[in-house]
Amino acid sequence: METTLFFFSQINMCESKEKTFFKLIHGSGKEETSKEAKIRPKEKRNRLSLLVQKPEFHEDTCSSRSGHLAKETRVSPEEAVKWGESFDKLLSYRDGLETFTRFLKTEFSEENIEFWIACEDFKKSKGPQQIHLKAKAIYEKFIKTDAPKEVNLDFHTKEVITKSITQPTLHSFDAAQSRVYQLMEQDSYARFLKSDIYLDLIEGRPQRPTNLRRRSRSFTCNEFQDVQSDVAIWL
């Protein structure tokens, strides 16, 4: 009998201890939660303050705001040198096309190469429906007045496209593409060969962040009306 009573008393003691233990755990948890709730805002402010003080934070922020366009590339100096042989050669290399596009972005004139690429893709259209849809998309994006990425075409070339856009053919944009190609070859390509983006590549130097700058786009295709067009399929 005494053994039985002793056994039950031990069980009650264990239960009492367990209850006390759980009360302590849950109580401290609530207390801890309450403290954390008060401390967290302060910790966040402190962490943000430390982050703002880090030099790399400012570098990333400034880089983002100024539109820096650094890009890792594995182009060999030998390949980059070949890009300088001709504009046609530059566009025939995928990395050359991407690097030239990056350069044009520094001058806010990437719409020219984007239009050229769109025309190359348009020539591969199959069937009247695809031709019509792609022609309309190109017209809306690059040709019409106040288009999001309107290219700088002379009035006559733009007028011809506008009149024929309802019944487009695979050659609807040939004249415009040729003129934009000439503009890039005579104007942008010459500056590209003198740019840090290109010179760093041929010298094998790491690519540096490139600041965006606004270039005057007051010139028109009329400057090159006397230039003989010699546009082929580059890609």
Encode pLDDT of 137-174 as tens digits. Answer: 999 999 999 999 999 999 999 999 999 999 999 999 99
Across the range 212-231, mean pLDDT stands at 40
Global pTM? 0.60
d(CA 105, CA 171): 28
Encode pLDDT of 177-212 as tens digits. Answer: 999 999 999 999 999 999 999 999 999 888 776 655
Encode pLDDT of 8-32 as tens digits. Answer: 455 455 455 444 444 434 444 444 4
Please tell me the predicted confidence (pLDDT) of residue 188: 97
Q: What is the average pLDDT score of the chain?
A: 74
Across the range 125-148, mean pLDDT stands at 97
